[in-house]
Structure 1
Amino acid sequence: MSDYDDFADRYDRTAELSPTRVPIEFHSVFKLLGDVTGQAWLDVGCGTGIYTRALRRRGARHVVGVDLSAEMVRIADEAEASEPLGVEYLVRDAADLEEIAAFDGALGAFLLHYGTDRDHLDRMCRGIGRNLASGGRFVTYQLNPEISTAPGYYRPYGIDFRFPDETLRDGQGFTFRFDTPDVESPEFGIHYWSRAVLDDALETAGFHDIRWVMPELSPRAAAQRDAGRWQDYLDRPICVLIEATRN
């Protein structure tokens, strides 16, 4: 059972209410993904299918979403039944992911920081790699190794963390919860991984040309009068982007 099973029916609401998701996360992820027209994509840790559906709407010819949470996948299936896009969803653990197909790309939004130890992290990366064609891209929105551990730093942005120490170590666990208007979640556990370990895990799984990209504010949000309110977040974003290519 996934930690998200009991929260699945409220997860999409946090996406709607979180102040950073549209102007920073979605903007940055889609900018890095670029044109996916005619490509086949695997959405690993797809949750309720927000990105899975977006990939299909943006022209991907074939999209499969996989997630450990059966309840998240159930909600994604309901969305597909309500508005058929030809998306397929499967209940799968990223760390035990068999070969489904040779995809052109794999997306893993909020994924690798659920690796509980180095072996688990390595298995996740290998599972993704075995589902990419040679030259296929892996794009992930991953916990920032330079995340701020200052108490309450991200509270204005709809997320609150509980860190055990000011300085985090590889594999160390801590918790977060969504704290948005009308929706307060239970605490979810994730794990810290440094840039060096993440690079090594990806290289060991057969990836090269690993590139780290900082998220940015969308032009529309940057043009607003209160754009300065995002600066603390942009200085120390919760997540950064990683792009890697399969050998």
Structure 2
Amino acid sequence: MNEIKIDWNSMAKAYEEFNNAENSYSYCIEWPCIKELLPDLKGKVVVDLGCGTGIFTFLLEKSEPAKIVGIDLSEEMLKIAKEKADADGSKSEFVQHDAATCKEVIEEPVDFIFSSTTSHYIENLKQLFENVAKSLKEGGECIFSVINPVYSAMYPVEHEDSSFPEDDEWNVRYMDKAMRAYIQPWLEYNDDYENHLSKSYHHTFSDYVNAIVGAGLTIEKVCEPMAPEEWKETQIYRYESFVENPVYMIIKMKKA
């Protein structure tokens, strides 16, 4: 079984609790920027690629699409998403599949594809964006919120013996394409998890641009959202960490 899938199955509940907090990065940093870039989704067919527990699926559903489908590799993440959908009367649909080969389950071209912090778990960006392009209608649009390449460059390189990284290993190794292994923020202070490392890839800015352009998509805008100004007063440590190392890079694209 896919190692990343096993990891996400085990973290599903912790991820959902952490990212649904009122001051989560998803709500306070990602979403305000994404909203500014969103096209009109009313009556459109929308896909949330790597939807996880449906955090953004349900936010996108408020724009009244005709249909919205969340796709994710982890059945445990989707189980939580489906439970929330049933409880809230959501019409969102959920499908278990690898985001990298999404065209296999997207039977008809769609109007809009969204993805949040999924791409660094996919080794082959070329395959991912080719599948995205093939899944979009002509004139269709997509928004990918990705882990900023500066930030993913800080993830510690995986140790050969699978041991845990030291704190001083969180430093930028931008051109190092080795596998990364680290403790996720939603597990760092969670007593239910011990000795749990997650793995992901590091993609550079040029990796993203070349994969996107190579797939025939046009980049319309790139944003690197900053933490809310009020965090200067309420959460100065988190605010300053964003000044030093941006966490997200949000890319809006279109299929000509």
Q: In proportion to residue count, which structure has more strand?
A: 1
What pairs with 1:1-247 in structure 2 (closer than 5 Å)? 1=1, 2=5, 3-17=7-21, 19-97=24-102, 98=104, 99-116=106-123, 120-147=124-151, 149=154, 166-169=172-175, 171-180=177-186, 183=190, 186-218=196-228, 222=230, 225-226=233-234, 228-229=236-237, 230-247=239-256
Distance (Å, rounded) in 1 between the aligned partners of 2:222 and 2:249: 7
Task: Give aligned-pair identity as a percent.
Answer: 22
For the 8 Å contact 2:45–2:111, the answer to whether it is kept is yes
| 8 Å Cα contact 2:219-2:251 kept in structure 1 | no
Give the 3 Å change call, closer, same or farther, for CA 68–81 of structure 1 in structure 2: same
Relative to the length of structure 1, the TM-score reads 0.82
8 Å Cα contact 1:68-1:94 kept in structure 2: yes
Select between 43-52 and 27-36 the one with higher mean Cα deviation: 27-36
1:168 is matched by which residue type in structure 2?
Y
Residue deviations 1:120-162 (CA, integer Å, cap 9, x gap): 22111122112111111121111212227399xxxxxxxx988
The structure with the greater share of residues assigned to helix is 2
> Where in structure 2 are there 5+ consecutive unaligned residues?
157-165
TM superposition score normalised by structure 2: 0.80
Q: Aligned pair in 2 of structure 1 residues 163, 243: CA closer, same or farther (>3 Å)? A: farther
Q: Which amino acid aligns with 2:48?
A: D
Q: Which ranges of structure 1 fall in alignment gaps of 5 or more residues?
A: 152-159
Is the 2:155–2:170 Cα contact (8 Å) retained in structure 1? no
Letter in 1 for 2:26: R
Q: How many residues align?
A: 234
The DSSP-based 3-state class of the residue aligned with 2:146 is strand
Partner deviation per Cα, 1:74-120 (whole Å, 9 max, x = no partner): 1111111212221110001112222333221111101211122xxx2
Q: For residues 185 and 100 of structure 2, what CA distance do their matches in structure 1 show?
A: 29
Looking at structure 2, the residues matched to 150 and 43 of structure 1 have their Cα atoms a distance apart, in angstroms, of 26
Q: CA deviation at 1:5?
A: 0.6
In structure 1, distance between residues paired with 2:12 and 2:231: 34
Shift of the 166–57 alpha-carbon distance from structure 1 to 2, 3 Å rule, reads closer
Distance 1:121 1:36 in 2: 26
User: Is the partner of 1:31 in helix, strand or coil?
Assistant: helix
Distance 1:69 1:161 in 2: 29
Q: What is the alpha-carbon distance in structure 2 between the residues aligned to residue 228 and residue 16 of structure 1?
A: 21
Q: Is the 8 A contact 2:46 2:69 kept in 1?
A: yes
Shift of 1:73: 1.1
Distance 1:140 1:89 in 2: 19
| Counterpart residue identity of residue 167, structure 1 | R
1:28–1:216 contact (8 Å) kept in structure 2 = no
Cα distance 1:201–1:59, how it changes in 2: closer, same or farther (>3 A)? same
Q: Is the 8 A contact 1:162 1:174 kept in 2?
A: no
Q: What code does the residue aligned with 1:238 have?
A: V
RMSD of aligned C-alpha atoms? 2.8
